């Protein structure tokens, strides 16, 4: 269990705390809850073949024309510290 927690703390520090000035306890709790949601729902994981946990594996795109038309939207969280990307439908 220690290795899992150490990896979580390392990711949290590198992705959030090293880039954010925390003002108070309320701000810290808000930032931690946003990062936790991002980590568990959106961030890709190597152990899951680069897929976020609650999602199924995406379909492979083989047609070059479809790749050229692929649209991506970016959603910033915590003032731009964390970025979420989604396909534009």
pLDDT digits (tens, 9 = 90+) for 11-52: 889 888 888 888 999 989 998 998 888 877 777 666 666 666
SS3 81: coil
Average pLDDT over residues 72-87: 77
Query: Which pLDDT band, with edges at 50, 70 and 90, does 2 fall under?
Result: confident
Task: Give residue 85's pLDDT.
Answer: 75
d(CA 68, CA 26): 44
Q: At a CB cut-off of 8 Å and minimum separation 6, what does 31 contact?
A: 16, 20, 22, 78
Domain residue limits, the chain: 2-87
Q: What are phi and psi of 33, to 5 degrees?
A: -70, -40
Task: Give residue 44's pLDDT.
Answer: 65
% of the chain beyond a pLDDT of 70:
80
């Amino acid at each position: 269990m220690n290795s899992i927690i150490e990896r979580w703390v390392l990711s949290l520090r590198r992705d959030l705390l090293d880039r954010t000035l925390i003002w108070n306890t309320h701000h810290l709790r808000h930032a931690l809850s946003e990062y936790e949601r991002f980590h568990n729902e959106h961030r890709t994981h190597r152990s899951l073949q680069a897929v976020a946990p609650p999602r199924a594996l995406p379909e492979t795109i083989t047609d070059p024309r479809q790749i050229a038309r692929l649209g991506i939207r970016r959603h910033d969280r915590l003032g731009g510290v964390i970025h979420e990307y989604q396909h534009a439908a």
